[in-house]
Amino acid sequence: MIDLPKFRSQVQTVGRMLADVGYDAEDFEIKSDNASPLAQLFRLAGGLLVVRRRSTGEERFYATDTNSAWADTLMNDLAHGVLAEPKKALGDGAIPH
């Protein structure tokens, strides 16, 4: 059973994180997965957060239990081009939004 308030909070957090680093949050689909065999295999109390980039089809899974560093892992993935091309740091020719 999905913890709807927690899931909404996670979706809002991901949306803010994406926008803060210059990505279009609408290009990302965010789903919660508490029941899949993968979530059950790892017995993740918080389930999985599935983040999919619509424009590329790239998809990543993040464990969202209380001890997880999923937000840091997502930001690291974005910084290294896993879900998208890494954004240039300000001062490297990027135009701030």
13's CB contacts (< 8 A; 6+ apart) are: 71
**41 inside domain:** yes
Nearest CA among 84, 66, 65 for reference residue 74: 84
Q: Are 21 and 87 in contact (CB under 8 A)?
A: yes
**27 inside domain:** yes
**90 inside domain:** no
Residue 60 has which token pair?
A: 């990543």
**55 inside domain:** yes
Structural domain for 72, as ranges? 4-79
Confidence check: pLDDT of 97 > 50: no
46-57: pLDDT as tens digits: 678 888 999 889
CA distance 1 to 22: 33
**16 inside domain:** yes
5-62: pLDDT as tens digits: 776 777 788 888 888 878 888 898 888 777 777 777 766 666 788 889 998 898 998 8
Helix spans in the chain (H):
4-20, 37-42, 70-79
**62 inside domain:** yes
Confidence check: pLDDT of 87 > 60: no
**26 inside domain:** yes
Confidence check: pLDDT of 94 > 80: no
Number of domains in the chain: 1
